[in-house]
Amino acid sequence: MTHAELLTALLKGASPSDLDAYDIASKAYYRSSREQHLEAAVLFEAAAARAQAMFDSGEAHKVNEAGVRINQALNHWARAGFNFHRAGEEARALELLRRCVEADWLAAGLNHDLHTVGMCWAYLVREAAKGGREAFEAAFSRAQRECRRIGSDFPFAYPTRQELGALARSFGLEALAQEIVAPLRAAKPMKRDLRAWLKDFDASAPA
């Protein structure tokens, strides 16, 4: 079944152009929460295209506190990328994620969603790591630099810091590993599983 055929089935024959982007995205979130990742990805793609069309036509009229009109398309493209990756369609996922990190989220009025840019970068840094130490280090540096430029942290989420900290160590980049993990040590309150992870991380440090 092609993506187009799957979308038709998921929308029960309705055309995306006849639906609100919010309604399509709601269906996508539902599928994603049930780990139906290909279905979610196809729906998020449709939601993104519809959100862009609604923005271009003026149907989407919400603005942020700075008065910038909000275009939700980037949020939906990002989640399409996440779900395509989880569904095993890595080429399509990476194409969408690269599009997202190169876009201007602030101009789209998405100043409250900048952490999503970091989530996109995390996938791209993991992909770069397949090319070895130098590729990983270069990708991480770029991700950190680009996120800081827009006023966001990278890595954003604690689990991503754990993963990338361990990955940096595996490449012998101990200083970078410690830099990535440092904010975890300041977590308050510190959950038991994080405390245990840090203990194991420190125990495995190179002599």
Q: Do residue 176 and residue 105 come from a single domain?
A: no
Query: Beta-carbon neighbour count of residue 122 at 10 Å?
Result: 23
- Count of the separate structural domains present in the chain: 2
Domain end, chosen from 68, 84, 113, is at 113
In a domain, 121, yes or no: no
Do 32 and 108 belong together in one domain? yes
Q: Are residues 57 and 109 in the same domain?
A: yes
The rounded distance, in Å, linking the Cα atoms of 71 and 54 is 9
Tell me: do 68 and 33 sit in the same domain. Answer: yes
pLDDT in tens, the chain (207 residues): 999 999 999 999 999 999 999 999 999 999 999 999 999 999 999 999 999 999 999 998 899 999 999 999 999 999 999 999 999 999 999 999 999 999 999 999 999 999 999 999 999 999 999 999 999 999 999 999 999 999 999 998 999 999 999 999 999 999 999 999 999 999 999 999 999 999 999 999 998
Domain stops at, among 113, 146, 163: 113
Per-residue b or e along 35-47, where b marks 16 or more CB atoms closer than 10 Å to that residue's CB: ebbbbbbbbbbbb
State the residue range of the domain holding 12: 1-113
Q: Is residue 86 part of a domain?
A: yes
Rounded-to-integer distance, Cα 32 and Cα 116, Å = 16
Does one domain contain both 104 and 158?
no
Neighbours of 119 (CB within 10 A): 21
Backbone angles phi, psi at 20, to 5 degrees: -80, 145
* Residues 92 and 137 placed together within one structural domain of the fold: no
Q: Which of 113, 146, 172 is the last residue of a domain?
A: 113
CB 13: neighbour CB atoms within 10 A? 7
pLDDT of res. 60: 85
